[in-house]
Amino acid sequence: MHDRPLVLVGITGGIALYKTCTLIRLLMNNGCDVQVVATPEAFEFVGRTTFESLTGHPVFVDVHSSVAFQGHVELSKKADLFVIAPATRNILAKLAHGITDNALTLVYSNVTCPVVCAPAMHTHMWESYENQENIKVLTKKGVFFLSPQHGALTSGDVGVGRMQEPDAIFSYVRQLLDVASSWSNKKILITAGGTREPIDPIRYIGNSSTGLFGVEIALEASRRGADVTLIACNIDSSLLMRLSSKVTVFSASTTRELKDLVDRSMPHSDVIFMAAAVSDYRVINTSDVKNKKNGTNIFLELTENPDILKGLARTYKGKKLLIGFAAETGDNIYSSFEYAQKKAKNKGVDFIVFNEVGSHKGFGHGDTSVHVINDEGKVVMNADGEKKDIACELASFITPYINEVMR
């Protein structure tokens, strides 16, 4: 990131455009360099000269000149953040479907920085099926949305559709710029899913982990500008399809395969989220053929798998940010939380993310409750709700620690 962050402000043909002038002033007055990228329709509401006077730069709108055509590539490379305000239904549809027929859509197609959309439109347009589907597509691509507010609309109706106020958009943008400086180009390694230890060619010892939480963390880290690698342990392909193309995915089945990939990736990683549910034991006497039922019992001899997390702590504690996960149940000796505390102290990593599992809890469910425990066994963060929201809260929590451990 530059000394003065370069913020691209995309403007479209909406009556809320007058608010964007205030947003630009807020950005400029707080140390940002601003370049306006416009659709031709924007100037039906506020003149081009206004934006050039506010920013001190020509507005990028003409995609037909050779200079301008080359300019969109340079803008895309240099930008620290791209905020589109107002984002009309029309522009959201074009962005979602890859239509590049104006300067704004052309720049969007090339940027690698975070993108924020502040929509403004009539309530019926906002709530329509097509618009909501476009928002889902763009969210999957990593676009952030500041949902419109409820209030009086230009049509005289009252409902959801008013663009957020300039100070709210600026506050959100400022936060993203701060976060981007911590996450940008950081190499994040995430393990997710559940390992499987074969008994014979058909059967295995496994667990119920779907990998959903790890995938949500990968999505969040990618949105924040990180270079993300996900090691997927037996995760359904439909879940992996939600990932951005920017996320590198490797597959592992057994614990030893997972350890091999982690060991190879760790020297090139800054942070690891060890979210995979790893089998503690594997079968010694595996069979090359299917075990047939013949009226006698089969006895499986098990041996311990390597402790990947503890091994990482021995090698990388203080050099990398190490975050383990503990899905625990209690018994008649200790509670699930007490077992998680013991694990946090024993493993030696920076943090353990603990959640209780059991009936209707944890694996496979969108909602969960987690406690983040440090290496002294103290709870430093709590979160409840959907896993995608907890992934965001967890990422925000560790943001200060990323740069700290990298010093």
Dump pLDDT digits (tens) for 338-394: 899 999 999 999 999 998 875 555 555 567 889 999 999 999 999 888 888 888 889
- For residues 143-165, average pLDDT: 82
Asked whether the predicted pLDDT for residue 65 surpasses 60, the reply is no
| pLDDT tens-digit map of 194-212 | 999 999 999 999 998 999 9
Token pair for 241: 């399809």
pLDDT in tens, 373-382: 999 999 999 9
Q: Mean of the per-residue pLDDT values for the chain? A: 88
6-182: which CATH number, 3.30.428.10, 3.40.50.1950, 3.10.129.10, 3.40.50.10140? 3.40.50.1950
Max CA distance (Å), the chain: 88
SS3 289: coil
Give yes or no for a cis peptide into 306 (omega within 30° of 0): no
pLDDT of residue 112: 79
Sorted by where each begins, the domain ranges of the chain are 6-182, 185-406
DSSP state of 266: G
Element (H, E) at 87: strand 81-87
Residues 222 and 229: their CA atoms lie apart, in Å, by 10
Residue 248 contacts by C-beta under 8 Å, 6 or more apart in sequence?
228, 229, 230
Question: How far apart are the C-alpha atoms of 36 and 28, rounded to whole Å?
Answer: 12
Q: Do 185-406 and 6-182 fall under one CATH topology?
A: yes
DSSP-assigned letter for residue 41:
G
Q: Which residue has the higher pLDDT, 62 or 94?
A: 94
What pLDDT shows up at residue 69? 47
- Are 221 and 395 contacting, i.e. CB atoms less than 8 angstroms apart? yes
| pLDDT of 246 strictly over 80 | no
Neighbouring CB atoms inside 10 A of 78's CB total 14
Percent of the chain at pLDDT above 90?
56
Handedness of CA 9, 149, 127, 135 (dihedral sign): positive
Measured between alpha carbons, how far is 261 from 311 in angstroms, rounded to an integer?
14
Q: Place domain 185-406 in its CATH homologous superfamily.
A: CoaB-like (3.40.50.10300)
Q: Exposed, middle or buried by CB within 10 Å (0-12, 13-18, 19+), for 195? A: buried
Cis peptide before 198 (omega within 30 of 0): no
Stated pTM of the model: 0.67
